[in-house]
Chains A and B, each alone.
Chain A
Amino acid sequence: MNVQNPIQFEPITAAHSGPVELTILPEATRFNLRIDPAGLAAASTAFGVDLPERIGGWAESATRSAICLGPDEWVLLAEETDRQAIEASFAGIYSDVPHSLTDISDREIAIEITGDRAAELLTVACPRNLDAIAPGSGVRTLFDSAQVVLYRDTSDKFRIEVWRSFFPHVWELLIIANKELASGL
């Protein structure tokens, strides 16, 4: 696999580098939504998920999810095929509830990090106290010197979304750290 430019549509799992499973997730539809919180109800209807109001909140429906990253900022995640439908749906509320809906599907690459030692692996470069990130929430933070959005699915399943050009650095550090965990020291 070309780690520099993962143009892939199927998940790719890193060769067994250590106890934690590292997977590059397939492409998805990803929007940056900026909107005055007063318009949240309309946006929730447009997207079909109740957008969380609290920073770090992460809400899901069967095929879509939304995470609140800032007081007026959400990331909307959906399937690849949903892009135009979502754009059309938000275009419908624009005149009443002005907002910015920007396609960032290709800006980021998502890495899934799974296993008993997933949280431990992340402590190599994430300065946050991971115990304070409850399952079902996520935050924008740092992994080493790269800005990332860190989602926590469950206690032992995380996802990192990182800008494409920062991806190789983050990915390679994760593999180095995973090998380090495997070394037993």
Chain B
Amino acid sequence: MTAFRIPGKGRVNHDTAVRFRFDGKSYGGVEGDTVASALLANGVHLMGRSFKYHRPRGPVTAGSEEPNALIGTSRGKGRFEPNTRATVQEIYDGLKAESQNKWPSLNFDIGAVNDRLYMLFSAGFYYKTFMWPKSFWDRVYEPVIRAAAGLGVSPSEPDPDSYASRYLHCDVLIVGAGPAGLAAALTAGRSGSDVVIVDEHTEMGGTLLSEDQVQIAGQSAWDWLSATLDELKGMNNVRLMTRTTAIGYYHQNMVALSQKLTDHLAAVPGNAPRERMWRVRANQVVLAQGAIERPLVFDGNDRPGVMFAGAAQTYLNRYGVKVGERAVIVTSHDSAWYCAFDLADAGVAVAAIADTRDEIAPEFAQMAADKGIEVLKGHTVSSTTGRLRVKSVLVNPVRNGKVGASRTIDCDALLMCGGWTPSLHLFSHTKGSLNWDSEAEVFLPGDKTEACHIAGAGRGLWGIARALEDGANAGSEAAIAAGYATEVGLYPVEADRTGGGVTHKELPSDRDAGKAKAFIDFQNDVTAKDIRLAVREGMRSIEHVKRYTTNGMATDQGKLSNMNGLTIAADAVGKEAPKVGLTTFRPPYTPTSFGTFAGYHKDAHFELTRKTPIDGWAEENEAAFEPVSLWRRAWYFPLSGEDMHRAVARECKATRQSLGMFDASTLGKIEVSGPDAVEFMNRMYTNPWTKLAAGRCRYGLLLGEDGYIRDDGVIGRLSQDKFHVTTTTGGAARVLNMMEDYLQTEWPDLKVWLTSTTEQWATIALNGPNARKLIEPFVEGQDLSEEAFPHMSVSECKVAGIPARLFRISFTGELGFEINVPARYGRELWEKLYEAGQQYDVCPYGTETMHVLRAEKGYIIVGQDTDGTVTPDDAGIGWAVGKKKPDFVGMRSLKRPDLVAEGRKQLVGLLTDDPKTLLEEGAQIVADPKQPIPMKMIGHVTSSYWSEALGRTIALAVVEGGRSRMGESLHIPMPDRVLSAKVTETVFYDPEGERLKA
């Protein structure tokens, strides 16, 4: 048994010992302990160092709001987590924890020199200190700040854990399982409504876990609790979730829950996720989050051993741990008196209770006297002593606003209470308004924006009796609103601990306020003095004070510091607190791992990857892949030892000389079908469609209503009423959406319907002089001769016995066919053609070769050679615009003044002076390289490749007035040199198009 553990006391399992390590040293705890409770049981208060001054710190709280006791935990390779709150992390056999922000050791930390240099680190020191010289920023300041910044050490290895997510729908979600939440769950659960109740702690009960003296309905608090939990667990309409924090409250009652599943386990079951994100949609929400104790602000209020009275009570009553041998209580609220009494009953010497108030309830004074505790009414605390642990406290009487002489009282624990702050973080996420209660000096919930109910201490109702009553009513209101009939239970309470108190700014002191280290934000080392300095330096809004001082910006998000910061800032400004404002609480309520947000989206499932039916063949044949929208596409097929350049050169050559094959399955395909199909096509696309015969194809160009190119593709007319439209790979969904939009909302009278068939078909493109020879033996039902099936034809026939849509089209300038077969047959047909193609040295090629071959022909790629501001004329494809059409999408815009103006950027070819020089895509183009900087940029390179067919590099570019610059030399300034190139036509290879007819 460790020195500070009280045998048999509390809710921990004293019989099950647990061993863990902290900073390399082995400690013993018991099952049910947190790292903090176990270390306290061993007499260890020092658990960390503060951020800025590296001051020694111990736990102030016993919960998730802890700002000080932050540790790193290690659970094996890749499983290191910094900034874990020791007050929350449960211990298990083998847990390894370490303190943070110290070097070389927690007891002796070099960085603590900052504490002596505190005058350099006043509010806004970042803004003041790192101003000049400018050149110091990159080389000196930023590296120094980065090295010093941050609390824990970021993990450096990939996280091997898995994370999960769920959607959940319920009638009533209850956040917080203290007395209010449990009473709400009982009422709502008994009504038959679907109830979810969550609590961030290991076990439910909230404050009941620390108050076993209370009698509820004739039972002890703990008996009532276990009976209540049994009843709730017995209802199949109630789901109870522990270790689950409601981290965010979003629109229409969507609440995000972060559930910790394995961090408390010594052995983790296979395939178990570490954490799970729940996205709960609740008809009604009950917020029963209770209240958070408020620190008192005095010099030395941050030493290890100084903590909340409520926390000491929790360590005592829930964990059976005494936080010291000799305690002093300093308080402005009745609740801390009960702490003193409980400690005294447990055998802790309580040296004194210093209450800032002059009037104390007589029964308190009597009880203190009975227990031999000295009572100091109307007292303040002016300082503490002790380096790594508090040794004594200086208390002074205050009479008529005058602070008297101090008296030193020895202690090893100083337990403070400055009142209680209702926990309204989630309510604030909903933008619910807060009302200032000037008497209690707290914010209480005001107008609601969501269907939520706030119960218990969260709306300023102290005591267990009131929490139970209020919770039962809130549960009833929620269930009724969700459509259920309820009966509200009664919970008579005895031995309840109610009471009130007052709040303070800094406690009055006889010491020099300028030298006081009276902390408000413990983690960020913000003192009362910093807040006042910020106001003196001109900060008036609390939002400015916050950013200037970093108050409330620590990992506890101001849970402890916001109210004290606000009241002191308000005092300094000379206004009432609500006039200075409260900073906005934002999700998440407590620090949440990235893994929880990522869920299943990691590694191979980071993003959905679409694969074609032929993808498997490409993978087996060692293709290099590239992402194209959500697809992964074969990029090139390197032979052994080939780099991309060589592979692509080989693929290009083989295709132009004999035969290449290409998986074009990702092309978007839309079936446009119905009696008005041709009318619809006429209205959507720039081209005329009426005279296109069935069995023929046409290049289709789609504009936005603004006249700019949106998409293109070859469109085949299968019959009078049916078109097979192809789109770009990335444009498929967008084009279908745009078509549906016009059809549904502008032309609902048209009898035509659209169906995406992108994935119905696997598409194999065959290009090269031997393309026809290869497929001819496979094709049934279509004569492939030049006469019967010329360029730009389409046919429904059979290929290798498979029903197919066969196109004679080309995106390479070679004789080309595209065979569409039902997707399930895609790979089978690919393999057959590949095998048969061996006699022609068939070469599978990827997207890079496709890009090169089309660029040699000057065929544009929408989205590469166009950027959303390119008209058909700009792109040099004005021929695709029907001149006699009455209307089509974007037609009117082609006459917009700025679209017909001179000097628009036009697509041209560029040939570099040095045929081996490859321009960079995206490189800017200037007319005169000698002009002063900033130069006038007249365009940019859109496509640039090595052309094996031409034995030199080629490029496409958009250039102002490009087509009137044929033969002109333009310049491309690069970081190391200026390149020059001549403007040419866009078709580099076979400009007569003879090869299409091969």
Contact = CB atoms under 8 A, between A and B. Distances in A.
Nearest to A168: B611
Interface in A65-110: 72, 98-108
A32 B605 CA distance: 30
A98 B675 contact: yes
Interface string B369-386: 000000000000000000
B388 interface: no
Contacts of A184: 269, 272
B272 A180 contact: yes
A182 interface: yes
B674 A106 contact: no
A5 interface: yes
B281 interface: yes
Interface in B246-264: 261-262
Given A126-B167, A173-B600, A179-B271, A34 B822 contact: no
Contacts of A180: 162, 164, 271-273
B828 interface: yes
A165 B759 contact: yes
A10 to B, nearest CB: 13
A182 B271 contact: yes
Contacts of A99: 674, 753
Contacts of B162: 176, 180
Given A98-B675, A100-B753, A106-B823, A183 B271 contact: yes
A123 B822 contact: no
Given A2-B616, A4-B616, A106-B761, A100 B671 contact: yes
Contacts of A103: 760, 822
A127 interface: yes
Contacts of B826: 5
A2 B826 CA distance: 14
Contact of A185 (B272, B823, B824, B827): B272
B164 A105 contact: no
B822 A5 contact: no
B610 interface: yes
Nearest to B604: A172
Contacts of A106: 759-761, 822-824
Interface string B615-633: 1100000000000000100
B612 interface: yes
Given A124-B600, A164-B613, A104 B760 contact: yes
A126 to B, nearest CB: 7
A165 to B, nearest CB: 4
A102 B673 contact: yes
A100 B755 contact: yes
Interface in A136-185: 144-146, 163-166, 168-169, 172-173, 176-177, 179-180, 182-185
Which residue, of A36, A108, A128, A180, has the highest number of chain B Cβ atoms within 10 A? A180
A184 B317 CA distance: 32
Nearest to A179: B271
B609 interface: yes
B757 A104 contact: yes
Nearest to B761: A106
Contact of B822 (A105, A131, A177): A105
B194 to A, nearest CB: 9
A102 B262 CA distance: 50
Contact of A7 (B269, B675, B828): B828
A99 B273 CA distance: 49
Contacts of B166: 123-124
B615 A5 contact: yes
A105 B751 CA distance: 24
Secondary structure type dominating chain B contacts = mixed
A183 B616 contact: no
A45 B377 CA distance: 92
Interface string B815-830: 0000000111111100
B167 A127 contact: yes
Contacts of A129: 169, 281
A168 B752 CA distance: 33
Contacts of B758: 107, 163
Interface residues of B, number: 51
Interface string B159-171: 0001011111100
Contact of A124 (B165, B261, B281, B759): B165
Contacts of B757: 102, 104, 107
Given A124-B165, A185-B262, A165 B755 contact: no
Given A146-B608, A183-B270, A102 B671 contact: yes
Interface in B848-862: none
A12 interface: no
A55 interface: no
A100 B674 contact: yes
Contacts of A112: none
Nearest to B273: A180
Contact of B751 (A2, A5, A98, A108): A98
A145 B604 CA distance: 14
B546 interface: no
A108 to B, nearest CB: 8
B611 A107 contact: no
A21 interface: no
B745 to A, nearest CB: 14
B279 interface: yes
A90 to B, nearest CB: 11
Given A5-B613, A169-B605, A172-B605, A185 B753 contact: no
A100 B673 contact: yes
Contacts of A42: none
B628 to A, nearest CB: 12
A120 to B, nearest CB: 8
B636 to A, nearest CB: 20
B755 A34 contact: yes
Interface in B743-789: 751-761
Contact of B753 (A34, A145, A183): A34
A115 B166 CA distance: 18
Contacts of A176: 162, 600, 605
B672 to A, nearest CB: 9
A61 B164 CA distance: 40
Nearest to A181: B271
A182 B671 CA distance: 43
Interface string A1-38: 01011010000000000000000000100001011100
A128 B166 CA distance: 11
B262 A173 contact: no
Contacts of B759: 106-108, 163-165
Contacts of B169: 129, 131
A165 B612 contact: yes
A52 to B, nearest CB: 18
A12 to B, nearest CB: 14
Nearest to B169: A129
B671 A165 contact: no
A46 interface: no
Interface in B662-678: 671, 673-675
A40 interface: no
B272 A183 contact: yes
Nearest to A102: B755
A165 B751 CA distance: 30
Contacts of A102: 671, 673, 755, 757, 760
Nearest to A122: B167
Nearest to A35: B753
8 contacts: A99-B674, A106-B760, A106-B761, A165-B612, A169-B605, A169-B608, A173-B600, A180-B164
The 7 closest A-B pairs by CB, nearest first: A34-B753, A100-B753, A165-B610, A100-B673, A183-B272, A106-B822, A106-B823
Interface of A: 2, 4-5, 7, 27, 32, 34-36, 72, 98-108, 123-129, 131, 144-146, 163-166, 168-169, 172-173, 176-177, 179-180, 182-185
Given A72-B753, A165-B612, A166-B608, 7 more contacts: A5-B616, A35-B753, A100-B753, A100-B755, A145-B607, A165-B611, A177-B600
